[in-house]
Structure 1
Amino acid sequence: MWTAGEGGLRWIFAFTSEEELAAFARVKGVPVDGLPYLTVLDVAVAGLGVAGGVALDVAGAEPMLFPPMRGIVPDEVALDGPMTTTGGL
């Protein structure tokens, strides 16, 4: 799995197809044959151990960045996840 740090976040490079993964690998100079294609993104983001988002098809014609927010990543690792308050009224 490829990741990169930028702006205090860890970004997972994700791809919509094996062809998009292959395009990214070619840009990086990595052999395309036999590259694994991971499809368990929620597990991967939660397992980073730091705030992280998803960089989708970064070498493609329409790259996108998805920040680590609820609805994109699991709530427990989202920057806008459940807030905990202490104290009473």
Structure 2
Amino acid sequence: MKAERAHGPACGVGTLERATLTAEIHDLYDGQGDGDRLLAAFRAAALYVPLAENEPICSAETDGVQWLYAFTSTTEVERFARARAEAGTDPGWASGRIRHWTVLGSRLLDIAVPAAVTETRTPTGVAVDVGGIRPLLMPPLSGIVPDPVAVDLLEPDRRA
């Protein structure tokens, strides 16, 4: 399988930051994580966002939360796509071509998450490296996503 870039930041933008994010995720799993550093690294990193056939961004809903998928490497995208193709979840990826955007984490949190909430009326977060060795969830909570879509700040009657 080969990941093919659809479009995104110019070459090099967010690349060093992606390595920093990977190191921060590793630290988190080793019990040395720092939430502020992790969030800053996520926001600065250029992440790979696979495109599903009929969706603007590949996502899934679990327990009332929609998760937009993002990956720290094309290897992680390919692993995810292979698993989906083998499971029959997305047979279009069986061809071996996975289109993706390269998007800064800050744009995922500040633009894509609110847009998804507006479209689906479902709390939305970002799932990083789903199916990988060290997955990470950026939940729809204040301090991570914009306050208007943070579930912990919504009035009880506005929660999904």
Quickly name the TM-score band, shorter chain normalised: 0.7 to 0.9
| CA deviation after TM superposition for structure 1 residue 71, in Å | 2.4
| CA deviation after TM superposition for structure 1 residue 73, in Å | 1.4
Of residues 133, 139, 158 in structure 2, which corresponds to 1:61? 133
TM-score normalized with structure 2 length: 0.46
1:48 equivalent in alignment to 2:116: yes
TM-score normalized with structure 1 length: 0.76
1:1-89 alignment to 2 at 5 Å?
A: 1-29=57-85, 30=93, 31-39=95-103, 40-42=107-109, 43-49=111-117, 50-81=122-153
Amino acid at match of 1:35: R
Structure 2: distance between partners of 1:46 and 1:74: 8
* Structure number having the greater helix percentage: 2
Which ranges of structure 2 fall in alignment gaps of 5 or more residues? 1-56, 86-92, 156-160
Structure 2: distance between partners of 1:69 and 1:27: 29
Moved over 2 A (4+): 31-34, 80-83
Amino acid at match of 1:61: I
Per mean C-alpha deviation after superposition, the further-off stretch among 41-50 and 31-40 is 31-40
Structure 2: distance between partners of 1:44 and 1:38: 13
Quickly say closer, same or farther: Cα 1:11–1:51, change in 2 above 3 A. same
Identity of aligned residues (%): 39
Structure-2 residue corresponding to 1:86: none
Amino acid at match of 1:14: A
Quickly say closer, same or farther: Cα 1:34–1:13, change in 2 above 3 A. closer
The alignment covers a number of residue pairs equal to 83
Quickly say closer, same or farther: Cα 1:9–1:34, change in 2 above 3 A. closer
| Structure 1 vs Structure 2 CA RMSD | 2.0
